[in-house]
Structure 1
Amino acid sequence: MGLIIGATTLVPKRKQVMPKSVFFIGIKGVGMTSLALAMADAGWVVSGSDTDEVFITDAILKKHNIKVSLFSVPLPQCDLIIHSAAYPVPTTNIPTKTLAQALADFVGSRRVIAVAGVGGKTTTSAMLAALFHSIGRDVGYYVGTSTIAGLDSPGHAGSDPYYVIEADEYAVSKTDPRPKFALLTPEIVITTNIVHDHPDIYPTVGDTLRVFSDLIKGIPASGTWVYNDTDPLTMQILKNSNPVCHLSPYNSNLKPFELSVFGDQNQLDAQAAVLAAQAAGIPLEIAEKAIQAYRGAGRRQEYHGEVAGRLLYDDYGHHPGEIEVTTTSFKTHFPDRRVILVFESHTYTRTESLLSDFAKALSVADLTFIMPIFESAREIGKPHQITPASFAALIPGATALTWDNAAEVVWNASRPGDIILTMGAGFVYKLHEDFKKHL
């Protein structure tokens, strides 16, 4: 049967003759796509609008027969509109929700496992979804990616009481500064790490600590906090917040798992997923075996194939900590290969606020290229202090690129045996289409 969320039924009852309809404005974003697929899975008639630019979610939306129109097309008659925070609230009499509001309403009274943190959220959430489904538990899940290997989609309604959510710390909308995860009432919370990010809404480390501390304080006494006990800010929250819930720490000193993905961060994320599954009632020995079902997710150390002796990979990492950990994992896993990093920084605000950290992290690669910086909607029309050229000048041997010359310059600088790793939260992954022309 469906879930009743206040006065709104977001998961339609099976007896309902006419399913409800929902329209997503900005449907191609990974979070919007994930919820759209979950709601379609629950019986809603789903459609949406976006630009005609190709996103990583285009294929999965097409696979599930979700109609996507251009923004210029008038809004259809529907029961609910969900809009991305990146776009203005539409003027309409139709009930309208932000993505964060709609997600919270959709899961309602389900037993939420919230996966939070500045890095590792997507991977850990995908690991949990794969783990549960490999043992026949039909949990719902909402993961901010385009694909999860072995699962049908990144968003699923599920019939199990538990619902896995990649819980975002970013603001609900331009007019609602609350973190998106503040709208959730999780029973189990994973924090993969806590570091200062999003300086546009969290100017100081203290602001970041505050929102994560509030998240932890909200876990009920019967719930569980799964946390990395080697993370400094996490331990500061533990010391100062006095959580009443069960505590389940993990760290890199625990026995490693046999995974099909490499790197220390994947091992840490697997530890977190296994402990969360245990907190949800899965025997530890079963969870430890089931974690092997995870085989990867879109834009997370994603392999794009071998072309002319070069191994092509892509990753979503866009914070200095993520960049350093991911690049180091490639250098460790492939000790005899050069790692060529092509980085597209995401937002001028983040780049300028964390500039020295970025320079340090990007110096780990054998050769680094800097793409034009991704400008957020909030930054359009504002002056910027940093340019790709001045950014590259801070990194030994780095080169600034344009979108017109990037693929050619990187390819000509590479040689057989190299790894070409694109990284960033924008569109840098599209360079692989050009690299593959050398097949």
Structure 2
Amino acid sequence: MKIHFIAIGGSVMHQLAIALKQKGYEVSGSDDEIFDPARSNLLAAGILPAQPGWFPEKISPQLDAVVVGMHARNDNPELQKAKALNLKIYSFPEFMAHESCHKTRVVVGGSHGKTTITGMIMHVLKACGRTFDYLVGAAIPGFSQAVQLTDAPAIICEGDEYPASALDPRPKFHLLKPHIAVISGISWDHINVFPTWEQYLQQFAGFIEAIEPHGTLIYNQDDATVRKLVQQSSRTDLQLIGYSLPRYTVEKGITFVYDDQQRPVALQIFGEHNLLNLQAARQACALLGISGADFFQAIASFTGASRRLELIASYPHAAVYRDFAHAPSKVKATIQALRKQFPNRRLIAVLELHTYSSLSASFQTQYAGCMDEAAVAVVFYSPHALALKRLPELTPDTIKQGFRRDDLHVFQNLDNLLSFLEQQDYRETNLLLMSSGNFDGMDIEYIRNLPVRPSSSPASTR
């Protein structure tokens, strides 16, 4: 097959292009700008466009399909020519669904936890010697890429409620048509796309409707919103499997979960949200034929997805973690996880407001109380991020009122934030960085060494 990618430089788009090249397809693509790691990855695969820009001459009747990324707009000259030639045009999730139409499809959805659950299932299946394809939104240890498409009989997909493309407003996970679906939890997000709670909730109702006839829905029954949504569904043909928090203990900084024989299994992950994720993965793996004994043996070695409660530095008296948390429910769950895992250590929690929702003044009240369990709570945001999203000014007072924490420290300048962190006492203390961004270019190596860095270190080393 001959496939052309419009906006091939996207973080997941380029991974799909590489996966298809590895499958033996003839792949071409275009983009007006491509940054690393996509640029280096495409170059290594031999499919980096020769020059940036859009080239209608690349679109010919010989193409079997054109895949359109989020970066492309309706007036894109390549897209216009593809339409004129009446070629098959797909969004990313549409093409994934097309390529996996004969596979058993497992799709993990939810406002939080979907990357980790998907990664857990992948990790266990690989440990058990199973052959499968996958689509996941972050780096998973043991997997060299985020997308794999082969002739495997099953595919494990992270499902997203965000629109399929700039041309297709349908949520991505509606298009994947799962045989086995997971809903991990629902908390309002993406207010630029779903301005009301009711609109956001409706996307998950639609996800349930998109499950294949007589399929299975695995859902978090500890989440009242999810539980109610499942109860209200008209789908009487589905097998419903609810899961809840398992029995566990924490001893000397290690979390133990209990297997089917009530034997403790030491985990490398922690936090009740991750234990719920484990339960979802366990149910999905069981439906794919993995025994309980094999699941627990494999899950013990799972270290987590990239930037999901990731330990980036450890010392006898302190540790530094980073997490992708940005929505209120994620922030609260991550802070609670560290507090329960290390009850005798102080916690300095730093949150960057980076997404459209988190930078919106009207959304700030959703963060009320979410950082209460941190000894020191810090919020950072960049005026540049506000400008890029064309949002009005967001004042520190608005943030403090929304978070309902008078001692909240709010910074808009990276140097000021780093100066504040340098002055903290890190004896018996954990430092947690939460963001879907990069703290305005913060040097992560500098942060790793904060617990042992003299406070007099010059700013130039940052």
Normalised TM-score (structure 2): 0.79
CA contact (8 A) 1:314 1:422 kept: yes
Q: Distance in 2 between matches of 1:309 and 1:362?
A: 23
1:69 is displaced (CA, Å) by 6.6
1:433 is displaced (CA, Å) by 3.1
Question: Which residue in 2 is equivalent to 1:433?
Answer: 445
Describe how 1:329-344 pairs up with structure 2 within 5 A: 329-344=337-352
1:420 to 413, 428, 431: 431
Describe how 1:287-306 pairs up with structure 2 within 5 A: 287-306=295-314
> Secondary structure in 1 aligned to 2:377?
strand
Query: Are positions 1:32 and 2:41 aligned together?
Result: no
Q: Relative to structure 2, which stretch is displaced further, 352-361 or 264-273?
A: 352-361
Q: Distance in 2 between matches of 1:70 and 1:311?
A: 45
> Secondary structure in 2 aligned to 1:434?
helix
Question: Which residue in 2 is equivalent to 1:366?
Answer: 375
Report the residue type matching 2:9 in the other structure.
I
CA contact (8 A) 1:51 1:71 kept: no
1:48 is displaced (CA, Å) by 6.4
Describe how 1:218-367 pairs up with structure 2 within 5 A: 218-243=210-235, 244-253=237-246, 256=257, 258=265, 259-306=267-314, 310-350=318-358, 351-367=360-376
> Secondary structure in 2 aligned to 1:324?
helix
Which digits, 9 at most, give the CA deviation of each residue in 1:196-243, with x for residues without a partner?
A: 222222222222232211211232343211011111111111221132
Number of paired residues? 416
Report the residue type matching 1:409 in the other structure.
F
1:101 to 94, 100, 105: 94
Q: Distance in 1 between matches of 2:296 and 2:372?
A: 35
The list of structure 1 runs, each at least 4 consecutive aligned residues, that deviate by more than 6 angstroms after superposition, is 374-377
Which digits, 9 at most, give the CA deviation of each residue in 1:361-405, with x for residues without a partner?
A: 12332212222158889x847442523564246433222221344
Normalised TM-score (structure 1): 0.83
Which digits, 9 at most, give the CA deviation of each residue in 1:38-61, with x for residues without a partner?
A: 33442344766575766xx56983
Q: Relative to structure 2, which stretch is displaced further, 321-330 or 166-175?
A: 166-175
Question: Which residue in 1 is equivalent to 2:69?
Answer: 84
Structure whose CA Rg is larger: 2
CA contact (8 A) 2:164 2:172 kept: yes
Q: RMSD between aligned alpha carbons?
A: 3.3
Q: Distance in 2 between matches of 1:296 and 1:374?
A: 32
1:169 to 147, 161, 166: 161
> Secondary structure in 1 aligned to 2:322?
strand
> Secondary structure in 1 aligned to 2:24?
coil
2:142 to 150, 168, 179: 150
Report the residue type matching 1:403 in the other structure.
L
Sequence identity (%): 24
Query: Are positions 1:192 and 2:163 aligned together?
Result: no
Over 3 Å counting, the alpha-carbon distance change for 1:32 and 1:430 in structure 2 is farther
Q: Distance in 2 between matches of 1:48 and 1:420?
A: 42
Question: Which residue in 2 is equivalent to 1:3?
Answer: none
1:253 is displaced (CA, Å) by 4.1
Query: Are positions 1:42 and 2:23 aligned together?
Result: yes
Question: Which residue in 1 is equivalent to 2:173?
Answer: 181
Which digits, 9 at most, give the CA deviation of each residue in 1:170-216, with x for residues without a partner?
A: 12234432111111111000000122222222222222232211211
Report the residue type matching 1:204 in the other structure.
T
CA contact (8 A) 1:310 1:415 kept: yes
Which digits, 9 at most, give the CA deviation of each residue in 1:87-112, with x for residues without a partner?
A: 53531135654333333333333211
CA contact (8 A) 1:407 1:434 kept: no
Q: Distance in 2 between matches of 1:291 and 1:381?
A: 40
Report the residue type matching 1:362 in the other structure.
M
Q: Distance in 2 between matches of 1:275 and 1:376?
A: 40
1:285 is displaced (CA, Å) by 3.4
Q: Distance in 1 between matches of 2:383 and 2:291?
A: 44
